[in-house]
Structure 1
Amino acid sequence: MPDNSAETTFAWDDVDYESIYQGKPPVEGSDVSLKATPWDIGEAQPAVVELERSGKFSGEVLDAGCGLGENAMFLAGKGYRVTGIDASTTALDQARQRATERGLEVEFVQSDATRLEELADERFTTVLDSALYHCLTPEQQRTYAATLRRVAKPGAHLHLFCDCGRGGFRLPQSISEEDLRARVGPHWDILDIEPARYVTAFTKESIAAMDLKRLASIGLTVKPDEIEVDERGRAIGQVWYLHAVRR
């Protein structure tokens, strides 16, 4: 599978995640708004729920790129000690508010995911990345994989979901299986990489109201005819699911 990330001139540094969480245009100088935070569905990702049901979480959990904290709060509600990290103060403020309203205890920490200087070495038994990896540059992805290894205990499990460049949503930097093996593999023993489904906040109706040409101008290609929906009408993105163990 080709490495599409090398073929695009799109720069991830152009994306302002604070603006996305505030409902503003995601790229400075553009008036294109996503109308919603695409990954905020108001609950944990079904794929994460299924992992927990299957016994794939244990010990202390790190949710890397936790955003508005839905996955972290779901896991905390199941009795895990959870730390959620994100670079966005807006997202973390909202996550803390949601956790307080639900009576859940989660440690939310503002941090650069490629450094995690606020976190101790060999602390976590399970690491979750629910769609952060593909938001990093290739070099950041390598550093990030090494940083996650540092804060994980030997034998810790990594569950990582990232865009695979298939389906009705296409990001400007799609990740191939070869990318994952080259950038994550040096730091983690990869057990499996397989296709998975990722629920978004969009519906076919909201997509029909979008200006697709303007979205393409900020690097997001949407192909309505290729979009699947779940039983609640929510649009599904196609992703990779990587499962690895910290050596």
Structure 2
Amino acid sequence: MSSYDFDKADFNAVYEGGDLLRGAAIKSVPWDIGEAQPTVVELERAGRFAGEVLDIGCGPGDNAIFLADLGYRVTAIDAASAAVEQARQRARGRDIEFAIADATLLTGYEDRFDTVLDSALFHTLDAAGRRRYPVALHRATRVGARLNMLCFADVPGGMPAPLAVAESEVRDALIEAGWAISLLAQTEFAGAAAPMRTFFEKAGSHPELDEKGRTRLPVWLVQADRMAK
């Protein structure tokens, strides 16, 4: 795995057919499954969304579209301009606010959101970013806001470090930023298998596939509530 420099991952390039990681041959978006993440659907059915929703690290927009189609007011942001443009095109005709923004700052979004969805953003940040990010979320949300987060889990059969995150790192970062964790459990993230073939071969990883031929990667499912500081 030393051949991959995760600090130089180019999230903008992969949306334009370029390399996400040098040498990994990832030239299409591996988290683009063309529909909302199954766990996001389950979270909505369980009543985990309310009020004004922030989809942070929205990618190609399918989770935001799913929520907007159910009547939620959704703001979807991503640091990659190409991702935001693709999401806008995919969501055409829907009332979703899209923006390019730094998730570790969230300038201009203070005290705004009632629910946050993070579907595979946290683990893409470096160590410093993983500390700043939940603080920024705290500023951008109202007291009692709900956080629903999926991030790669540091467990057997999962993604390699530093993409896989230890449970203690997730827990410490959120608690220190003023989030009360109500659930931290393991579940699965569905991904497109084809773009990751070379990556997994070099990593010596053989993830299971679901009935649709998508990778089943272990992630932490985190549910937390924003506390007043």
- The alignment's TM-score, normalised by the length of structure 2, stands at 0.91
Cα deviation, residue 68, structure 1: 0.8
State whether residues 84 and 108 of structure 1, in contact with CA within 8 Å, keep that contact through their aligned partners in structure 2.
yes
Q: What amino acid does structure 1 have at the position aligned with 2:10? A: D
Q: Distance in 1 between matches of 2:107 and 2:187?
A: 31
Query: What's 2:222 paired with?
Result: 242
Q: Distance in 1 between matches of 2:30 and 2:157?
A: 14
Cα deviation, residue 118, structure 1: 3.3
List per-residue Cα deviations over 1:46-81 (Å, max 9, x = no partner): 000011011110000001100111101100000000
Q: What amino acid does structure 1 have at the position aligned with 2:76? A: G
2:19 equivalent to 1:19: no
User: Residue 140 of structure 1 aligns to a residue in which SS?
Assistant: helix
List per-residue Cα deviations over 1:159-187 (Å, max 9, x = no partner): 01000133544233121111011111112
Q: What amino acid does structure 2 have at the position aligned with 1:237? A: L
Q: Distance in 2 between matches of 1:76 and 1:124?
A: 15
Q: Can you give the 5+ residue segments of structure 2 that lack an aligned partner in the other structure?
A: none
2:138 equivalent to 1:159: no
List per-residue Cα deviations over 1:1-42 (Å, max 9, x = no partner): xxxxxxx89754311111111121123xx3542142111101
Query: What's 1:223 paired with?
Result: 205
Q: Can you give the 5+ residue segments of structure 1 that lack an aligned partner in the other structure?
A: 1-7
How much is the aligned-residue C-alpha RMSD, in angstroms?
2.0
Q: What amino acid does structure 2 have at the position aligned with 1:155? A: G
2:125 equivalent to 1:136: yes
Q: Distance in 2 between matches of 1:81 and 1:232?
A: 30
Q: Residue 182 of structure 1 is aligned with which of 160, 168, 172?
A: 172
State whether residues 25 and 34 of structure 1, in contact with CA within 8 Å, keep that contact through their aligned partners in structure 2.
yes
Q: Residue 105 of structure 2 is aligned with which of 112, 115, 139?
A: 115
- The alignment's TM-score, normalised by the length of structure 1, stands at 0.85
List per-residue Cα deviations over 1:206-235 (Å, max 9, x = no partner): 76x63756xx4xxxx2512xx222221211
Q: What amino acid does structure 2 have at the position aligned with 1:185? A: I
Q: Residue 48 of structure 1 is aligned with which of 24, 34, 40?
A: 40
Query: What's 1:89 paired with?
Result: 81
Cα deviation, residue 134, structure 1: 0.3
Change over 3 Å in CA distance of 1:200–1:222 after alignment to 2: farther
Q: Distance in 2 between matches of 1:88 and 1:129?
A: 15
User: Residue 67 of structure 2 aligns to a residue in which SS?
Assistant: helix
Q: Distance in 1 between matches of 2:180 and 2:24?
A: 40
Q: What amino acid does structure 2 have at the position aligned with 1:162? A: C
Count how many residue pairs are aligned between Structure 1 and Structure 2.
224
Q: Distance in 1 between matches of 2:204 and 2:75?
A: 33
- Structure 1 vs Structure 2: percent identity of aligned residues? 41
Q: What amino acid does structure 2 have at the position aligned with 1:161? A: L
State whether residues 10 and 172 of structure 1, in contact with CA within 8 Å, keep that contact through their aligned partners in structure 2.
no
Cα deviation, residue 98, structure 1: 0.6
Q: Distance in 2 between matches of 1:108 and 1:140?
A: 22
